[in-house]
Amino acid sequence: MSASRVTIVEVGPRDGLQNEAAAVPTDVKVAFVDALSAAGLPVIEATAFVSPKAIPQLADGDEVFRRIAKRPGVRYPVLVPNEKGLDRAEASGAREIAVFTAASETFNRKNINASIDESFARFAPVIRRARTAGMRVRGYVSCVFGCPYEGAIPPPSAARVARRLIDAGCDEVSLGDTIGVGVPTQVPEVVECCVDAGVPLSRLALHFHDTRGTALANVAEGLRQGVRIFDSSAGGLGGCPYAPGAAGNVATEDLLYLLHGMGYETGVDLSLVAAATRALSGAIARRPASRVYQALESARGPRPV
């Protein structure tokens, strides 16, 4: 892959919607994923097969996954916490999963009711089965810079968990700034620590939430470090119900504006991502946070009444 090519992993339909207060109808979710596919996004995390008690918003994940149009060449991973989730993923026809753990023991306990060691024990059979079935597996490490319960997390703690995910069979590891506390000087620290721990740079993704407005600056620093996979959500939706106060992911529109302006290629049409956000925005109870989306909306002028 050329050094100027960046892969965007669109997580709006999962990370974005999981934290929305208003129940979003299944039809709207399906249309949202289809619109994101039409925008040229190469990877779209379509939903989560977690406990519906933990995340009621995504309880309809099975139906959403079955109904979305699967564009050739587009990957549609789903978030899976355990073997039950993998059963649902397989039954729905998913070809790619994402497992998730954290660099913080307390966050993991709140999020998935497991210690870090227990989480690995829980998804070892999930990864084994998925790989045997020919599925691709992504692993998330949450709280790589900080935890809402434990405070600052030392980079080696995040790197240890990232390496364990690779050793467990993950194809790719996404480092999550779950609560959006990281600043650019911390990005090389954690990336270098992961690479030193044996995680290949080409298999590292960065996943920034934008709680304090540092996400795009962190992306720019990640690019300087050679990272070429970034997670984002259309409109800047998102957050984690188990990370109090955490805002949405860096917005896909804002990320695209930055990347294209800096000369990187993504294959994604920014105006079509904004159209997907616009179509969804009526179903969520707030204005999408994306600055670029807002600028595009202003340029369109007032909506007809």
Distance (Å, rounded) from C-alpha 78 to C-alpha 50?
10
Binding partner of 157, given Mg ion, ligand HMG, none, CB within 5-8 angstroms per partner class: none
CB 194 within 8 A of CB 170: no
Q: Which of residues 32 and 242 has its CB atom nearest to ligand HMG in the complex?
A: 242
Q: Which two tokens stand for residue 135?
A: 């599925």
Active site residue 143: no
Q: Which of residues 75 and 278 has its CB atom nearest to ligand HMG in the complex?
A: 75
Q: Which residues contact 113 (CB under 8 A, 6 or more apart)?
A: none
Q: Which two tokens stand for residue 81?
A: 């916490």
Q: Does 15 contact Mg ion by CB under 5 A?
A: yes
CB 150 within 8 A of CB 158: no
Minimum CB separation from Mg ion for residue 132, in Å? 28
Identify which range of 43-51, 66-74, 182-190, 258-266 contacts ligand HMG by CB under 6 A. 43-51
Q: Which of residues 15 and 297 has its CB atom nearest to Mg ion in the complex?
A: 15
Binding partner of 49, given Mg ion, ligand HMG, none, CB within 5-8 angstroms per partner class: ligand HMG
Identify which range of 9-17, 36-44, 65-73, 251-259 contacts Mg ion by CB under 5 A. 9-17
Residue facing ligand HMG at closest CB distance: 176
Minimum CB separation from ligand HMG for residue 88, in Å? 6
Q: Which of residues 176 and 288 has its CB atom nearest to ligand HMG in the complex?
A: 176
Minimum CB separation from Mg ion for residue 210, in Å? 11
| Helices (H) then strands (E): counts for the chain | 12, 11
Q: Is 78 left (phi over 0), alpha (psi -120 to 50) or beta?
A: beta
Q: Which residues contact 283 (CB under 8 A, 6 or more apart)?
A: 22, 24, 25, 28
CB 217 within 8 A of CB 183: yes
- CA within 13 Å, CB half, 276: 33
Count of residues touching Mg ion (by CB under 5 A): 1
Query: Could you give the string, one character per residue 188-227, with x where binding to ligand HMG holds by CB under 6 A and - elsewhere?
Result: -------------------x-x------------------
**Helix (H) or strand (E) segment spanning residue 122:** helix 116-132
Q: Does 240 contact ligand HMG by CB under 6 A?
A: yes
Grouping H, G, I as helix, E, B as strand and the rest as coil, residue 282 is coil
Minimum CB separation from ligand HMG for residue 45, in Å? 9
Q: Does 4 contact ligand HMG by CB under 6 A?
A: no
Minimum CB separation from ligand HMG for residue 240, in Å? 4
Distance (Å, rounded) from C-alpha 136 to C-alpha 117?
22
CB 244 within 8 A of CB 180: no
Distance (Å, rounded) from C-alpha 174 to C-alpha 169?
14
Q: Which of 17, 39, 46, 55 binds ligand HMG (CB under 6 A)?
A: 55
Report in angstroms the alpha-carbon separations of 6 from 19, 294, 296: 27, 24, 23
Touching ligand HMG, residues 74-133 (CB under 6 A): 81-82, 84-85, 88, 100, 111-113
Say which DSSP state 243 is in: S
Q: Which of 57, 142, 232, 233 binds ligand HMG (CB under 6 A)?
A: 142
Residues that bind ligand HMG (CB under 6 A): 15, 18, 48-55, 81-82, 84-85, 88, 100, 111-113, 140, 142, 176, 178, 207, 209, 240, 242
Catalytically active residues are: 240
